[in-house]
Amino acid sequence: MNRARRIELLPLPEPIRNVLSLEYHLQLEALRAGVGALMALQIVLRAAMAAAMLREMGYGGSTLRPLAEYEELASHALASGIEGRYGLNESGMRVYAALLTEHDAQLALAPLNVIDQIARRLERFRKAA
């Protein structure tokens, strides 16, 4: 097995995982404060989609809720917010905080090639929307 192939089988490097996690958690904090932009909702919902895909592929996620619940919470935040100032209620915050904690663990388990596959799927989904 060549070096490039072996690297694809390793998890994401910790510094990259930390950057992703920080972005997710900062966006969630903005939503908690009621000052999240539309992008904050998109980012945490994208994390929910990635977590669901990783679960389907066998990488953790046993405590995740159905994707529809995350979508419903994001939709409610969008409907109840003012443009540029969206937020999650307390129960929504708990649900998304648990999701992001679980997703952090998934990112530590899943190999780079799986993360890359999911990133490509999410990008195709984004372009189709």
pLDDT at 77: 94
Record the pTM.
0.90
pLDDT at 21: 97
CB-CB contact of 47 with 74 (8 Å): no
Give dist(CA 69, CA 66) in Å, integer. 6
pLDDT at 1: 66
pLDDT at 10: 84
The tens-digit pLDDT sequence of the chain (129 residues) is 676 677 678 889 999 999 999 999 999 999 999 999 999 999 999 999 999 999 999 999 899 999 999 999 999 999 988 887 999 999 999 999 999 999 999 999 999 999 999 999 999 988 887
Query: Counting Cβ atoms within 10 Å, is residue 79 exposed (0-12), middle (13-18) or buried (19+)?
Result: exposed
